[in-house]
Amino acid sequence: MALTGRAGLLGLLGVLVVAVIPRHLLTLAVVDGALAVGIVVDLTRAGRVRDLVIQRGGSQSTRLGEPTTVTLDVVNTGRRRVRGRLRDAWPPSAGSRPDRHALELPPGARRRLETVLVPTRRGDRRPSAVTVRSIGPLGLAARQGRHQAAWSVRVLPPFTSRRFLPERLARLRLLDGLVTANVRGQGTEFDSLREYVVGDDVRSIDWRATARRQDVVVRTWRPERDRRIVLVLDTGRTSAARVGDIPRLDSALDAALLLAALAARAGDRVDLLAVDRVQRASVEGASRTEVLPRLVQAMAPLESVLVESDARRLVVEVLRRARRRCLVVLFTSLDRAAVEEGLLPVLPSLTSRHLVVLAAVSDPRLAELARGRGDAAAVYDASAAEQARAETRWVTAELRRRGVEVVTAPPTEFAPAVADAYLELKAAGRL
Amino acid sequence: MSAPAAGLDAQQRAVDTLTPKSTPKSTPKSTPRSTLPASPGSTSRSTSPTVADLWRAARGPLAAAAALLIVATLVALVNSRRTAGALDPTATDPSGARALAQLLRDRGVVVDRIETVEGGTANAGADVTIFVPLPDRLPPAAYGSLATSPGDLVVVNPDIGVLSVLAPAARPDGSAPEGARQPACALPVAVTAGVADVGGSTYQPKPGVTGAVGCYAAGGAGSLLAMPRSTGGTVTVLGSPTALTNASLDRLGNAALALGLLGAKARVLWLVPPAGAAVAAGSHDRTVTELLPAWVRPALLQLLIGVGLIALWRARRLGPVVAESLPVVVRAAEAVEGRARLYRVAGARDRAAEALRSGARSRLIDSLGLPPDASPAAVTEAVTGRVRRPSAAVDDLLYGPPPHDDAALVRLADALDALDEEVRRQ
């Protein structure tokens, strides 16, 4: 049950009545007795919340920051009118507006209530209970009850780096020879034979074929297709750190999506693995058209876990799913302790069979600190930043020495930098 | 992704089939499903407790509360015979005097417990002992009627105000420690009792008073003073109640003394005013509450009720607070900033300078095109080849000793910047 403001107001007005009318105690008893009777009448005459049937509907997924609408269909199966308020409670990060609705339902009636969600966090958002306050005919008291109506809205990663895709696709088409003539050096896979035109590299003339025909024939090459790319996301403690207010993990997801979109267009197969101490997400063998939706679905509920990642586990998982040589893109950080203790000892088993790219977001704040001059505090900041950069340099050198490609960029340029690294590898025929 | 229209149609059908009394559970599950996974069932289930649920949840605690109440009532009933109260003829606690009252009754003395003077002394006659164990509890108005009532009077530990009315011939003298004491006087009661626990306040007859006997003196004044009254009979003032209490009655000559004092007449009027009687009847100043108009109290009560209703209105939430586990917020540069502060607090100029120098060296090595593991001499030589500076100065700047204070560290950072800039420009 619940009281209304009207009950409280009448209680306060009762003060005047009691003060003015003689035989004050009797008046007080009459006033409060009447109020109590009114409240009891309201409680018994209010429509039953239990008799409502609530059904959810509407959207089940949206991108982070994009509004989406979920609905509540409320049916009154009781014999009395339900008048009052309804609260559809969602977690704060679901950004539900409005979360309170006015409700006016005659017996048997059905209403649809719409709530707009503007999620502020990635992942699955589930509503809490639906609470209904059904006010009695006198407006003094209300019945209140709750309904559980399960629903789930998956908030997908925003994929803000989509805007870099057209330019990268153009460069990919350039590589593919769809726009310009195939020239040797862009790919190693034999494509076809065609007649020599002025300007072709004489080294690509196929003399055997030329001898068979009466014309000079050149071989054409195209970049490799059907290569496998394994995107590995480290969801351990280092991925929780925020660089420019974006967690490393979210930057990595964005970059992974851009790379996957590009690779799918380039005809490569993309797998995903998210791992810290255990495997958190996995996408394997998705076809080119469905790889992006599947990746997005798999990535949506990923969250950083505050544990040290198990590099051995990571390597084992990658080796288990990739028998043929493939490109392994490792999204992690260049944290010296984590890399030195975790990754470096187990890296050889990975680099011996696969091409490994390590992509890490660099922190622009370090450069900002390193420029600090003028007073002692700023110079100490600068020296600590220099120290951190020296460690990063050391880690980068160690990784490169072991044959790992290292890509680092600040968060704003991270996704295109990773995509460019992929395009360069493809252009160089190293996949 | 919106709910497909088919799902909504099914939902409408589900609603149509609902009879008014059917429960939510009987609704067919017609969830509008999209192609996405994890589509939960969307028909509601009421989670508010029903009356039956409430009863089921509450009956355990209610039973416990009822059992507690029953036990408490039984204990109270058993204990109701034992009343407490200093020198009360019905009190059985150590400071009470039920034992004494019982002894008196055994000797054929009528013991009447009265609470007000008006209620008992008026038509008592002269063959009576009025016992006033707690004179300060009496309203001052009662002293007058006590003073004029006939019979014997026994007063325990009176102060000067009480004394001046009830025993005007006596005056307080001081106090003596309580303890077993010889009577050391000729008063028959005291002589019969012998050694008894007396002490407390001591009293003396005023100069010129005859017939007063002081007993149990601890040097000078006595703790028991008996003297004749103007209305006939005697008034006895006792300095402490110890000898009369349940706790001490069986010690030494206490019982004999008490019986001698109270059992002389056929009847004892035992005056035990309730606590607070003196204040209630005594102060004739009207308090603030009495001065208020009659409507104020009911209006205040009503105000309380009104505010209570408003509090209930505001306090009832529309459903519980929704909890959400939040992500960790750690800035990546936090460790670096922490290390900088540690350097500063520890005054680690050597490490700070080395970090700055190695950063500058690696930038120089980059811009001069040297191998990453170039020796100090090679770096110095390459730098002096570019800039017009003495080799010793460059060597000191890049590989010199750590600065001796923070100002020197700041200067070192600026000097490294300047060198780097100069090399770049050349």
pLDDT digits (tens, 9 = 90+) for B36-53: 333 444 567 787 778 888
Q: Specify the 3-state DSSP secondary structure of B131.
A: strand
Chain A residue with Cα closest to B35 = A60
The lowest-confidence range among A77-81, B63-67, B190-194 is: B190-194
ipTM of the complex: 0.73
B59: Cβ contacts below 8 Å, ≥ 6 apart: none
Domain ranges of chain B: 98-281, 338-425
Out of A54, A75, A145, closest to residue B48 by CB: A145
The per-residue pLDDT for range A168-185, each reduced to its tens digit, is 998 888 876 654 444 454
Per-residue DSSP letter, B325: P
- Closest to B163 in 3D by CA, of B177, B187, B178, B147: B147
Helix or strand (DSSP H, E) at A377: helix A376-401
**Are A390 and B407 an interchain contact pair (Cβ–Cβ within 8 Å)?**
no
Structural domains for chain A: 1-156 (2.60.40.3880), 228-427 (3.40.50.410)
Does any CB of chain B come closer than 8 Å to the CB of residue A365?
yes
Chain B residues close to A90, C-beta within 8 Å: 322
**Are A110 and B44 an interchain contact pair (Cβ–Cβ within 8 Å)?**
no
Does any CB of chain B come closer than 8 Å to the CB of residue A111?
no
Considering only residues A247 and B6, tell me which one the structure prediction assigns the higher pLDDT. Answer: A247
Helix or strand (DSSP H, E) at A102: strand A100-105
CA distance B271 to B114: 5
The per-residue pLDDT for range A208-221, each reduced to its tens digit, is 888 888 888 887 76
pLDDT at A266: 86
**For chain B, what percent of residues have pLDDT higher than 90?**
18
The predicted model gives B174-187 an average pLDDT of: 79
Q: How many residues does chain B have?
A: 426
The radius of gyration of chain A from alpha carbons, rounded to an integer in Å, stands at 33
Chain A residue with Cα closest to B12 = A110
Average pLDDT, chain A: 89
Out of A116-125, B61-70, B385-394, give the one with best mean pLDDT: B61-70
- Closest to B283 in 3D by CA, of B145, B166, B134, B139: B139
Beta carbons of B155 and B234 less than 8 angstroms apart: no
pLDDT at B38: 37
Chain A residues close to B320, C-beta within 8 Å: 89, 128-129, 131
Q: Specify the 3-state DSSP secondary structure of B375.
A: coil
Does any CB of chain B come closer than 8 Å to the CB of residue A130?
yes
Using alpha carbons only, give the angle B140, B146, B147 rounded to the nearest 5 degrees: 100
The predicted model gives A313-318 an average pLDDT of: 92
Range list of H helices, B126-276: 140-148, 160-166, 188-193, 254-262
Q: Specify the 3-state DSSP secondary structure of A309.
A: coil
Region label for B250, one of left (φ > 0), alpha (ψ between -120 and 50) or beta (otherwise): alpha
The total of other beta-carbon atoms located within 10 Å of residue A24's CB is: 21
Query: How confident is residue A74, by pLDDT bands cut at 50, 70 and 90?
Result: very high
pLDDT at B291: 80
Give A293→chain B minimum CA distance, Å: 10
A81: Cβ contacts below 8 Å, ≥ 6 apart: A47, A104, A105, A106, A107
Give burial (CB, 10 Å; 0-12/13-18/19+) of A203.
exposed
Q: Residue by residue, what is the 3-state secondary structure of A207-265?
A: HHHHHHCCCCEEEEEECCCCCEEEEEEECCHHHCEEECCEEHHHHHHHHHHHHHHHHHH
Scanning A147-186 for CB atoms below 8 A from B yields 147-152, 154
Query: How confident is residue B241, by pLDDT bands cut at 50, 70 and 90?
Result: confident
**Are A240 and B327 an interchain contact pair (Cβ–Cβ within 8 Å)?**
yes
CA distance A130 to B318: 9
The per-residue pLDDT for range B107-153, each reduced to its tens digit, is 888 888 777 776 666 566 777 888 888 877 777 777 777 777 777 88
**Are B1 and A373 an interchain contact pair (Cβ–Cβ within 8 Å)?**
no
